[in-house]
């Protein structure tokens, strides 16, 4: 794990996008296939002795390293915020025993609904997360939080999954975005939410972020301060392409590089080969979808 410093009082705990390095050699597992292969960062915002940890990484030992690093920086009071319920964002929460764990109401609901399967390793396969640590405080909608003297806005959005919470630091005009945007492309599991995804991406773009820090992105870009707001617009463009795919099936056969040529040319995003598999899964999800909202 690399500890990056993309902004004043912000740490990124980054791991992945390295050939030949695996979490486990015991066959397929969600850590290698869904997180480290794409690169993943959890973040911490620090103000004096206080810190907000935004996602707890892919395992308890990674969470412990985050906590030890913060304590070495003089932090004695940690609050955890879970961006959404997906495993690579909640697996290390056990390392933060004694800390308040915040999550949106929908995240809390989904974690409780899938708790047994997650703890047994039956959800997304191994490794199991046992025990799955649940939130200690549930957020309803947008929430303002004061970390020392640093104001934070925790914004509830429906992008990537319907339970996402992003962190807006208004004084730095910095957006901690978790999975609502990714470089190279977003992962789509809920195509019935496309219109809401676009609306909420508009909302984030309207904040006018100077920099955007995603969970899955290029480590050098993150280390150098993050992405500009073009990452949001690139995500919108890609979603619109997916929305047209059912009526324009030829788009499903178009190479990814061609579909995202504009954002690549402008430098809004970079091409990461691991996202070919993400794109292929997105295409299948969209084409298999019956066009109805699940009940």
Residues 228-258: tens digit of each pLDDT: 999 999 999 999 999 999 999 999 999 999 9
What's the rounded Cα separation, in Å, for the pair 62 and 66?
Answer: 6
* End-to-end alpha carbon distance in the chain: 41
| Phi, psi at 195, each rounded to 5° | -60, -40
Distances (CA, A) of 118 to 101, 122, 158: 18, 6, 22
Q: Do residues 214 and 231 make contact, with C-beta atoms less than 8 angstroms apart?
A: yes
Query: 37: helix, coil or strand?
Result: coil
- Whether residue 125 is predicted with pLDDT greater than 70 in this model: the reply is yes
| Percent above pLDDT 70 for the chain | 99
Q: Please report which residue ranges of 91-134 form alpha helices under DSSP H.
A: 105-113, 115-120
DSSP per position, 188-254: -S-GGGHHHHHHHHHHHHHT--SEEEESSS-HHHHHTT-B-THHHHHHHHHHHHHHHTTT-GGGGGS
Domain boundaries, the chain: 2-288
Pick the CATH number of 2-288 from 3.40.50.12780, 3.60.15.10, 3.30.360.10, 3.30.70.100: 3.60.15.10
Contact 121, 132 (CB under 8 A): no
20-29, 71-80, 91-100, 155-164: least confident range:
20-29
Q: Which residues face 156 on adjacent strands?
A: 165
pLDDT at res. 27: 66
Q: For residues 246 and 251, what is the distance between their CA atoms, to the nearest angstrom? A: 9
Q: By the 8 A CB rule, do 25 and 127 touch? A: no
Q: Give me the residue label for tokens 């969470």.
A: 63
Average pLDDT over residues 54-79: 98
pLDDT at 43: 98
- pLDDT, tens only, 264-293: 999 999 999 999 999 999 999 999 998 888
Buried/exposed 162-195: b ≥16 CB within 10 Å, e otherwise: bbbbbbbbeebebbbbbbbbbbbbbbbebbebee
């Amino acid at each position: 794990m690399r500890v990056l410093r993309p902004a004043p009082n912000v740490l990124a705990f980054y791991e992945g996008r390295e050939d030949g390095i695996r979490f486990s050699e015991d066959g397929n597992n969600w850590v290698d296939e869904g997180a480290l292969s794409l690169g993943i960062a959890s973040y911490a915002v620090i103000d004096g002795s206080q810190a907000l940890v935004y996602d707890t990484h892919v395992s308890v030992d990674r969470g412990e390293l985050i906590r030890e690093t913060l304590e070495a920086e003089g932090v004695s009071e940690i609050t955890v915020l879970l961006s959404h319920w997906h495993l690579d964002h909640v697996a290390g929460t056990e390392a933060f025993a004694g800390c308040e764990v915040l999550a949106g109401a929908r995240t809390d609901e989904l974690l409780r609904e899938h708790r047994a399967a997650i703890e047994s390793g039956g959800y997304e396969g191994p490794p199991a997360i046992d025990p799955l640590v649940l939130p200690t405080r549930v957020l309803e909608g947008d929430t303002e939080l004061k970390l020392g003297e640093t104001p934070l806005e925790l914004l509830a959005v429906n992008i990537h999954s319907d339970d996402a919470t992003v962190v807006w630091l208004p004084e730095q005009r910095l957006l901690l975005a978790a999975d609502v945007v990714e470089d190279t492309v977003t992962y789509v599991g809920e195509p019935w939410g496309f219109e809401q995804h676009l609306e909420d991406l508009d909302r984030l773009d309207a904040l006018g972020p100077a920099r955007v820090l995603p969970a899955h992105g290029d480590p050098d870009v993150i280390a150098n301060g993050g992405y500009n707001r073009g990452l949001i617009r690139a995500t919108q463009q890609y979603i619109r392409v997916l929305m047209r795919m059912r009526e324009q099936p030829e788009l499903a056969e178009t190479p990814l590089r061609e579909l995202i040529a504009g954002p690549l040319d402008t430098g809004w995003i970079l091409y990461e080969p691991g996202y070919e598999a993400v794109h292929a899964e997105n295409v299948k999800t969209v084409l298999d979808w019956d066009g109805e909202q699940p009940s």
